[in-house]
Chain A
Amino acid sequence: MPSSEAGAVRAAAVSARGWGWRHAGRTAQAVHGLDLDIAPGERVLLLGPSGAGKSTLLHALAGVLGGEDDADEAGSLLIDGARPQDSRGRAGLMQQDPETQVVLSRLGDDVAFGAENLAVPPRQIWARVHEAIDDVGLADFPLDHPTSALSGGQKQRLALAGILAMRPGLILLDEPTANLDPAGVLEVRDAVGRCLDKTGATLVVVEHRVSVWKDLVDRIVVLQPGSSSEPAVLLDGPPDAVLEQARDMLAAAGVWVPGYVPATRARTGAGTGAQTGAQTGARSETGTGELLLRADDLAVSRERPRRRGFKTIPPVPAQSGLSAEVIAGQALTITGPNGAGKSTFALTLAGLLAPVAGKVGAGVGLSNGAGSDPYTWKAQQLISRIGTVFQEPEHQFVTGRVLDELMFGPRHLGHGEERVDELLERLRLTHLVDANPYTLSGGEKRRLSVATVLAASPKVLVLDEPTFGQDANTWAELASFLSELLDAGTAVVSVTHDQEFSAVLGGTELRLDSAAAALAPGARQKAGAA
Chain B
Amino acid sequence: MRDVLSLRGNHALLTRANPLAKFVAVFAVTLVLALSIDWVSASTALLAEFALFPLVGLTLRLLWQRGWPLILAAALGGWSTAILSADSGRTLLDVGIWSMSEGSLELGLGFMLRGLAIALPAVLLMSCTDPTDLADALAQKAKLPHRFVLGTLAAMRLVGLMAEEWQTIGMARRARGVGSHGSPLQRLRATLGQSFGLLVQAVRRASRLAVTMEARGFGGSERTWARESSYSLLDMWVLLGGALISAAAVLAAVAAGTWNFVF
Contacts and interface: CB of A to CB of B under 8 A. Distances in A.
Interface stretch (A85-93, A238-246, A511-519): A85-93
Interface in A77-115: 88-89, 91-93, 95, 97, 99-106, 109, 112-115
A382 B174 contact: yes
A353 B168 CA distance: 10
A309 B180 CA distance: 27
Interface stretch (A26-34, A120-128, A229-237, A249-257): A120-128
Interface stretch (B1-9, B21-29, B87-95): B1-9
A347 interface: yes
A75 interface: no
Contact of B215 (A93, A379, A383): A93
A3 interface: no
B176 A119 contact: no
B175 A388 contact: yes
Given A117-B223, A125-B226, A148-B160, A103 B175 contact: no
A469 interface: no
Nearest to B180: A379
A453 interface: yes
Contacts of B178: 379, 398
A382 B177 contact: yes
B211 interface: yes
B197 A397 contact: yes
Interface residues of A, number: 78
Interface string B83-115: 000000000000000000000000000000000
A308 interface: yes
B188 interface: no
Contact of B193 (A89, A120, A149, A398): A398
Nearest to B211: A64
B226 A62 contact: no
Nearest to B1: A148
Given A101-B212, A146-B6, A129 B175 contact: no
Nearest to A117: B217
Contacts of A153: none
A395 B172 contact: yes
Contacts of A103: 154, 157, 209, 212-213, 216
Given A109-B227, A116-B226, A166 B212 contact: no
Given A59-B211, A95-B208, A390-B172, A116 B224 contact: yes
A113 B6 contact: no
A88 B171 contact: no
Contacts of A383: 175-177
Interface string A255-298: 00000000000000000000000000000000000000000000
B214 A398 contact: no
Given A114-B217, A122-B224, A109 B171 contact: no
A409 interface: yes
A323 interface: no
A409 to B, nearest CB: 6
B62 A530 contact: yes
Interface residues of B, number: 59
Interface in B149-184: 153-154, 157, 160-161, 164, 167-169, 171-181
Nearest to A310: B68
A121 B225 CA distance: 8
B200 interface: yes
A529 interface: yes
A117 B216 contact: yes
B226 A112 contact: yes
Contacts of A95: 208, 211-212
B173 A396 contact: yes
A347 B214 CA distance: 37
B132 A109 contact: yes
B220 interface: yes
A520 B75 CA distance: 37
A408 B223 CA distance: 52
A302 interface: yes
B132 A93 contact: no
A105 B131 CA distance: 9
Interface string B219-250: 11011111110000000000000000000000
B224 A387 contact: no
Contacts of A397: 197
Interface string A406-450: 001100110000000000000000000000001000000000000
A491 interface: no
B148 interface: no
Nearest to B160: A148
Identify the interface centre among B167, B193, B226, B228: most chain A CB within 10 Å of its CB.
B226
A409 B177 contact: yes
Interface in A44-86: 59, 62-64
B211 A166 contact: no
A117 B218 contact: yes
A85 B131 CA distance: 31
Contact of B175 (A99, A119, A387, A527): A387
Interface in B1-55: 1-6, 8-9
B201 interface: yes
Given A102-B157, A114-B216, A309-B68, A148 B205 contact: no
16 contacts: A63-B214, A95-B208, A104-B154, A105-B157, A113-B213, A113-B218, A116-B225, A119-B222, A121-B224, A309-B68, A379-B178, A379-B180, A396-B176, A398-B193, A398-B197, A525-B8
Given A118-B217, A121-B224, A383-B175, 11 more contacts: A103-B212, A105-B131, A112-B226, A117-B223, A122-B226, A148-B2, A379-B181, A390-B172, A392-B172, A395-B169, A396-B173
Interface of A: 59, 62-64, 88-89, 91-93, 95, 97, 99-106, 109, 112-122, 125-126, 129, 144, 146, 148-149, 159, 162-163, 166, 302, 308-309, 347, 350, 352-353, 378-380, 382-383, 387-390, 392, 394-398, 408-409, 412-413, 438, 452-453, 456, 524-525, 527-530
